[in-house]
Structure 1
Amino acid sequence: ALVGKVGTDTDIVPLYGMLDGKAQDAAIKPATSGRRKVVLATSIAETSITIDSVRVVIDSGLSRLPRYEPASGLTRLETVRVSKASADQRAGRAGRTQPGVAIRLWRAEQTAALPAFTPPEILEADLSGLLLDCAAFGVADPSALAFLDPPPVPALNEARGLLRALDAIDHTGRLTEAGAAMRKLALPVRLAHMVAEASRSGHAFEAAMLAVLLTERGLGGDGADLERRLMRFRGERSPRAIVAKQLAERLARQAGGAKGSEAAAAGLLLVHAWPDRVAKARGERGRFVLANGSGAMLDAADPLAGEPFLVVADLQGKAQNARITAAAAIGEDDVRVALADRIEARRETSFDRDKRAVRVRETVRLGAITLAERMLPPPTGADADRAVLDAVRQHGLSLLTWSKEAQTLRQRLGWLHRGLGAPWPDMADDALVERLDDWLLPYLAGAASFAAIDAGVVSAGLASLVPHDLQRRIDMLAPTHFDAPSGSHVPIRYDSEWPVLAVRVQELFGLDRHPAIANGTVPLTLELLSPAHRPIQTTRDLPGFWRGSWADVRADMRGRYPKHVWPENPLLAAATARAKPRGT
């Protein structure tokens, strides 16, 4: 930009880290007698070198610092405000060997707002390269080293996870063959892995071209489609493009490998750098789900938006709605071949509540992406039995067919457990689910449908939980029925704290003792009913009821049910289940 704006007696020379030795010497050595020299320098001139005869320093107040971008997995230079310490160092370059002046291109009061120091690069950089170097020297855990500024643990963990995913280090942190090949290349680890893998098939140069394209912004344009950008880059003839291609050639030579006969598609190369960023189209055009579980999108008008699969190299924005800024198309078959070791086929057993049956679905997945799925025949034998147990654990005991007999047995055993404790088995839901292997599994017959399970299985299974020496005591301690004086066989309920006998009051005429179970030690709770089976009164003292409130009950019953016999002294009357006693 200064060419043509300065006198012919002025030399303009650059100075930055990537210059060759001859060009650096031209910038550092004093100006020729009678000529002036302007050095356009990066921050390398702050502390690393001294340029003789410098009398004026013009400080832009800006600095280019490396910043790791998690969205792309690459480290790029970002322009930021200079720190106070750097500004002082720059000013100190003027007058180092003779009187000089420093000109700062910002207002003096803005200096107070500058950060005191430039943050250590290790606190913000991608540490995967550091970990790779440590592994090469036998240091599995870099945190054991004495750093001036210890690297952040989360960044170390992230870098370690990435290197393992790229097969650069093993589970112990030691360098692998792939890691050694990556370390030869002066590239971010993802791109180094891509180039190293491509060298095996003779495509190291194409991969190196793509790596340079991704690290140097603007090459081949700025569109999202990396395949098109790579094609344009191949045809560019600008000095910058020529230098970039020369860099790609050097990287390809370092990677080695014979040259292939055919050019490789960008997607086939990128998949080795970002296997976790393979994306599958979902929903509306331009929407994708990535293998790492994130969501991403492209403008619907972008040609890539219609591709079924992409490999995403760069993203901007939030994880679930990030915008894809660099990607390439790839076919599903190519994904399956390239990432075969990452693809998992799983059989998932589920329960169809409507059909009360176990279903088996096979899914082929790459991370969060479902590549294929299909229904398989229902399981049989031991697999079916296990599937039934899993369904019960997930959805509860209500899936089983509970006959009246099974419900009653469960209530009786539950009452015995609450009253007597172990070894009487606990009949609570949680307890039964926990012991499914003990009482249900032995009685299953290999059917994957609950409708095919015999109704007697549940009763037999529950009874099996009772120790053998207690089996005969069940009926003695917790009988299923009470033999009423009327001759009726009345069921006893065990769904409350105390056993309940719901019986019509007429069927207890003549009974002067309160009904009890468990060898007469537990009185039944009597729900006395009318002839229409409506509740009259609840009592645990039948003789007291006869002597007390029976008179009032009798008066009410005579009015409601005049055809029935309502004796003044029920203890002297014959029990009956009929409207009138026989013979009247």
Structure 2
Amino acid sequence: MIRTDALDRLPVRHAVPGLLSALGDRGAAVLHAPPGTGKTTLVPLALAGLIGRGDSRRVLVAEPRRMAVRAAARRMAWLLGQEVGEQVGFSVRGERRAGPLTRVEVVTTGVLLQRLQRDPELPGVDTVLLDECHERHLDADTALAFLMDVRSALRPELRLVAASATTDAASWAALLAGPDGTGPVPVVRSEGQGHGADVHDAPPPAGLRPAHGTWVDPQLLRHVAATVRLALSRHEGDVLCFLPGTGEIARTAGMLAGVEAEVLQLHGRAPAAVQEAVLRGGDRRRVVLATSVAESSLTVPGVRVVVDSGLAREPRIDHARGLGSLATVPVSAAAAAQRAGRAGREARGAVYRCWQAADDARRPAYPSPEISIADLTSFALRAACWGDPDAAGLTLPDAPPAGAMAAARSVLAAIGAVDGEGRATPRGERMARIGVHPRLARALLDAAPRLGARRTSELVALLAEEPPREYGDDLAAAWRTARRGGDAYAGRWGAETRRLMSALSGGGESGGGRGGGGPEAGGYGTAKPGGGEGLTEDAAAGLVAALAFPERVARSRGERSFLMVSGTGAELGETSALRGVPWLAVAVADRPANAVSARVRLAAAVDEETARAAAGHLRTEAEEVHWEDGDVVSRQVERLGAVALTTRQLRAADPGLVRQALLEGLRGEGTGLLLWTREAHGLRDRLAFLHRVVGEPWPDVSDGALMERAADWLEPELSRARRRSDLGRLPAGEALRRLMPWTTGEAGRLDELAPERIEVPSGSRVRVEYGGEQPVLAVKLQELFGLRETPRVAGVPVLVHLLSPAGRPTAVTADLASFWRDGYRSVRAELRGRYPRHPWPEDPSTAEPTRHTKARQSRLSGES
């Protein structure tokens, strides 16, 4: 019997007539309904004609999470007074409860994509409702784009609804309009707000450190736990507390020990029994600690209070290394509204926000689209199988980043999923139908002929349905633990294993021939390590992991430290059972923020033969000549990517490589490696001065410029050099002269423009130093008597350092005339007392210059 009283309490019922009318007119619409109004449960029943007076239709409802799929189907079946699998059913990966009478089927967006790629027309389906569009999951965006193509080219009568509680409805309405020029589709709004909730600011204490990577300040968790205790004391009903991840949930649960309530932990990997207990409700008061899985599409019975930590987790991908990680970010305004809506679904509630109210202005309006931050390999394969390898023709809310798509296509080409034009190969089409990441599909197809369908499926299922942390980081040991069963994960793993075995036994190649490995597909090649079924469990686990992630095959460089063939370091945990093995195939790893090496989460030991075979497309053998430890090192190296396998010293290395190594040394250690005499340093300083003052054609002789023009001034001597000692004999001064502007004739003016020495009035030729900002002439003061103007070089007055008869500095000037007039008197008084035997005339500008004392000067004058 239909529960009419429950349906009548759902505010969205008032929007149903408008939605049906919009679909009748345009075939597509956007439904904007606040949390708690019933859009996920009442609307599909109305669209299917199971309530009200609508026509009988078959409706697919796509949800982003498996938990939401089961919960929505269960709730709709309850509203109809039926069991799941009758008129309302569901399908998730590996499980389907639906029958011939099913009119509303709730599916994950991943299942919807699989059906679209198997048969784009979706035969028998009249309406598709995409729920929670605002979450911007990549599968949901892709499904929308494919459905738009289906409506445009195959089935214009297929009706499409994009539904959300918080999304930018106008933008989605324009997106659903398509290319027909009829303008945005209608936006239907539900005015109901559920029962509403009172929002309380509960900012944490000052001095909180911001989250980075997956690290969250323990002080915030203590504050969240204290806020939960406060909410329990102030309000009736259950408390739903949002935290960013499972680690924070576990730690906060520990801080809530002793509260007078049952503490439950809800996340995507929670056992099904726990998930069902949360969604079923109970007699005892509860505190539900949840990740973002509880933001939408779920009604947690009994909840009257929401405590929001204000944080969420987003994936990040390092496309260059192929490593993913998680980042803790402030929750978006849209997601915060969704979370708050959980408090007012059954009665008026309360919301405690654990952040400063001023932070609201800095929060992003919506979550980051997954397409902009995620690994796009699966998306790129789907697009290629859809016939649009670049995804340029797809109606996507956001275009995929070019770099991420290029990285994805590179992976797909290496595993034989796409051809040179980016189009899906038959092998790639089969991979797409398997329903796992293309890397795992490659491992499934290529390892099955060696290991058998069951062993391969079991191992791939472990990688597709990542085991709990308590299983450890040894893939083979985790495999044995899963086989023993006894926990919720083992049940999910068994279901996925059966699904993969079914996929392997389906149509198409079995893994050999066209669908198998091979060098042309970046596959396992001709190497056959072991006898298939006869391989040990450890060897089988290593083979599958290496085939899935050949770039992560890693060689030991210490007990816990490894180098992956991709060039990234990897570290095992201190208690890992894999410590000390010579080779690893790393299946799961992440690279924390600011970390140099990746953390190994799941891996298997492999031997070198398996490593060579799996990553064979990365094998190279070449001469490597480098500047290393202060000299040229030449060797013949066989490499697997970044990992050196064998090394042999070379006696006669390629001269071109040696030359490059010497230049590398010069760039790293500077031109000081060359032979620099005093004259060579002086020449460089003179040329640098002329370049600065005159400019062209005088050359730039800085280290950077000299390295750029090494071929112009160091050849042919550099080509004859073989080691560091040869550079030390290379005369830098002679080489520098090659850079002088000989072709224009200006080189002949070097001594005119920047003379090495200047003749002063005493007849001495004094060296000019050009190393500073201004040329310096250091000369005894008496030798300049009679010189009225400061000497100039290239039009620039020199900086005169006036020295005492003993050669000590007494004054510095760039204006001799001014010095003779204003500064000389005080200097004369000091020097007369210190050097009485030397002449100190009152008017130095007219006096006779001298290098001698008064007595010697008189004797010389008499002799003359």
TM-score (norm 2): 0.47
The answer to whether the Cα contact below 8 Å between 1:66 and 1:76 also exists between their aligned partners in 2 is no
Q: CA RMSD in A?
A: 5.4
Q: Is the 8 A contact 1:277 1:311 kept in 2?
A: yes
Structure 1 residue aligned with 2:302 = 107
Mapped to 1, the partners of 2:411 and 2:825 lie a distance apart of: 88
Relative to structure 1, the CA distance from residue 464 to residue 43 in structure 2 (aligned partners, 3 Å threshold; closer, same or farther) is farther
Aligned-partner Cα distance in 2 for 1:299–1:195:
31
Q: Any idea what the Cα deviations from partners look like across 1:134-181, whole Å, max 9, x if unmatched?
A: 53454323452357x889769877754542342311353122464356
Report the alpha carbon displacement of residue 336 of structure 1 after superposing the two structures with TM. Answer: 1.5
Q: Does the Cα contact within 8 Å between 2:838 and 2:852 map onto a contact in 1? A: no
- Name structure 1 gaps, 5 residues minimum: 1-36, 54-61, 70-74, 83-103
AA matched with 2:666:
V
Counterpart secondary structure, 2:603: strand
Task: Rate the CA distance shift 1:506–1:181 in 2: closer, same or farther, 3 A.
Answer: same
Partner residue of 1:474 out of 744, 747, 750: 750
Structure 2 equivalent of residue 22 of structure 1: none
Q: Distance in 2 between matches of 1:373 and 1:41?
A: 64
Moved more, 243-252 or 266-275: 243-252
Tell me how far apart the structure 2 counterparts of residues 543 and 315 of structure 1 sit (CA, whole Å).
76
Shift of 1:492: 1.9
Alignment correspondent of 2:510: 255
For residues 489 and 415 of structure 1, the distance between their equivalents in structure 2, rounded to whole angstroms, comes to 20
* 1:341 match: 617
Contact 1:440 1:457 in 2 (8 A): no
Matched residue SS, 1:392: helix
CA contact (8 A) 1:360 1:376 kept: yes
Secondary structure of residue in 1 paired with 2:578:
helix
**Secondary structure of residue in 2 paired with 1:304:** coil
User: 1: CA distance between counterparts of 2:598 and 2:657?
Assistant: 43
Instruction: Give the corresponding residue for 1:581.
Output: 856
SS of residue matched to 2:807: coil
Amino acid at match of 1:349: H
After the TM superposition, which of the residue ranges 544-553 and 157-166 deviates more from structure 2?
A: 544-553
Structure 1 counterpart of 2:357: none
Match of 2:423 among 174, 182, 185: 174
CA spacing shift, 1:568–1:385, aligned 2, 3 Å:
same
1:307 aligns with 2:307: no
- Contact 1:128/1:163, CA 8 A, preserved across alignment: yes
- The reply to whether residue 327 of structure 1 matches residue 595 of structure 2 is no
| Change over 3 Å in CA distance of 1:385–1:368 after alignment to 2 | closer
Specify the alignment match of 2:720 in structure 1.
446
SS at match of 1:453: helix
Among 637, 657, 661, the alignment partner of 1:387 is 661
Q: Please state whether the residue corresponding to 2:544 is helix, strand or coil.
A: helix
Matched, 1:274 2:549: yes
* 1:28-43 equivalence runs, <5 A: 41=85
Rounded Cα–Cα distance in structure 2 between residues aligned with 1:580 and 1:378? 71
Task: Give runs of aligned pairs for residues 447-462 of structure 1, distance below 5 A.
Answer: 447-453=721-727, 457-462=731-736
- The count of residues paired between Structure 1 and Structure 2 equals 504
Write out aligned runs for 1:33-432 (5 A).
41=85, 45=89, 106-107=301-302, 113=342, 131-132=380-381, 134-136=383-385, 138-146=387-395, 160=409, 162-176=411-425, 178-179=427-428, 182=431, 185=434, 188-198=437-447, 203=452, 206-212=455-461, 224-227=473-476, 248=501, 251=504, 255=510, 257=512, 263-264=534-535, 265-266=539-540, 267-285=542-560, 288=562, 290-291=564-565, 293=568, 295-298=570-573, 300=575, 302-314=576-588, 326-344=602-620, 347=624, 349-350=626-627, 352=629, 355=630, 357-360=631-634, 366=640, 381-432=655-706
- CA separation in 2, counterparts of 1:311 and 1:43? 47
State which drifts further: 397-406 or 259-268.
Answer: 259-268
Deviation at 1:215, TM superposition (A): 5.3
> Kindly tell me: are residues 558 and 170 of structure 1, through their superposed partners in 2, closer, same or farther at Cα, counting changes over 3 Å?
same
SS of equivalent residue, structure 2 residue 548: coil
Matches within 5 A, 1:512-523: 512=787, 514=789, 516=791
Is the alpha carbon distance of 1:474 and 1:168 closer, same or farther for their aligned partners in structure 2, counting shifts above 3 Å? same
Aligned partner (choices 494, 498, 504) of residue 770 of structure 2: 494
Determine helix, strand or coil for the equivalent of 2:663. Answer: helix
Structure 1 counterpart of 2:759: 483
Q: 2:709 aligns with which of 429, 435, 458?
A: 435
Distance in 2, matches of 1:440 and 1:304, equals 52
Preserved CA contact (<8 Å) 2:676 2:731: no
Query: Which residue is equivalent to 1:88?
Result: none
Kept in 2, the 8 Å contact 1:361–1:374? The answer is yes
Question: Given that residues 674 and 731 in structure 2 are in contact (C-alpha distance below 8 angstroms), is that contact kept between their aligned partners in structure 1?
Answer: no
CA distance in 1, matches of 2:378, 2:787: 94
Rounded to whole Å, the distance in 1 between the matches of 2:733 and 2:461 is: 73
Kept in 1, the 8 Å contact 2:813–2:819? The answer is yes
AA aligned to 2:445 is A
Q: Relative to structure 2, which stretch is displaced further, 569-578 or 491-500?
A: 569-578
The AA in structure 2 aligned to 1:175 is: A
Q: After TM superposition, give the deviation of residue 504 of structure 1 in Å.
A: 1.7
Rounded to whole Å, the distance in 2 between the matches of 1:537 and 1:576 is 18
Residue-by-residue CA offset, 1:110-139 (whole Å, 9 max, x unaligned): 9962999xx9xx989997556445534543
Cα distance, 1:409 vs structure 2: 1.5
- Alpha-carbon separation, structure 2, partners of 1:226 and 1:64: 28
Rg larger for: 1
Deviation at 1:296, TM superposition (A): 4.8
**1:504 partnered with 2:776:** no
When residues 243 and 184 of structure 1 are mapped into structure 2, their CA distance, relative to the original with a 3 A threshold, is closer
Cα deviation code 1:245-293 (max 9, x no counterpart): 79738726851549967523311233111223334445454x5555553
Are the aligned partners of 1:206 and 1:263 in contact in 2 as well (CA < 8 Å)? no
Check whether the contact 1:501–1:525 (CA below 8 A) recurs between aligned residues.
Answer: yes
* Cα deviation 1:355-402 (Å, max 9, x = unaligned): 5x3445777655565656677669674443333333333444444443
Match of 2:810 in 1: 536
- Structure 1 residues 304, 498: closer, same or farther in 2, change over 3 A? closer
SS of the aligned residue for 1:424 comes to: coil
From the superposition, tell whether residues 359 and 560 of structure 1 become closer, same or farther in structure 2 (CA, over 3 Å).
Answer: farther
Please report how far the alpha carbon of residue 329 of structure 1 lies from its aligned counterpart in structure 2 after TM superposition.
1.5
1:10-29 matches, cutoff 5 A: none
Q: Say which SS state the counterpart of residue 464 (structure 1) adopts.
A: helix
Write out per-residue CA displacement over residues 205-257 of structure 1, whole angstroms, 9 at most, x where no aligned residue: 642453356557899x9565444566788999x99979967973872685154
Identity over aligned pairs, percent: 34
Q: Give the SS at the match of 1:491.
A: strand
Measure how far apart 1:579 and its partner are: 8.1
Q: 1:233 to 1:257 in 2, by over 3 A?
A: farther
**1:561 and 2:810 aligned:** no
User: How far does the alpha carbon of each residue in 1:6-65 deviate from its partner, in whole angstroms, 9 at most, with x for none?
Assistant: xxxxxxxxxxxxxxxxxxxxxxxxxxxxxxx99565996269967889xxxxxxxx9989
Q: What amino acid is the match of 2:421?
A: T
Query: How far apart are the structure 2 equivalents of 1:516 and 1:322?
Result: 65
CA, structure 1 residues 572+380, in 2 after alignment: closer, same or farther (shift >3 Å)?
farther
C-alpha separation in 2, matches of 1:136 and 1:197? 20
Residues 552 and 417 (structure 1 numbering): CA distance in 2 closer, same or farther, change over 3 Å? same
| Conserved? CA contact 2:588–2:602, under 8 Å | yes
Following the alignment from structure 2 to structure 1, what is the Cα–Cα distance between the partners of residues 764 and 478? 93
Question: Would the alpha carbon gap of residues 536 and 455 (structure 1) be closer, same or farther in structure 2, given more than 3 Å must change?
Answer: farther
Tell me the distance in 1 between the aligned counterparts of 2:503 and 2:667. Answer: 61
Relative to the length of structure 1, the TM-score reads 0.66
What is the alpha-carbon distance in structure 1 between the residues aligned to residue 378 and residue 482 of structure 2? 27
Question: Matched residue of 1:272: which SS?
Answer: helix
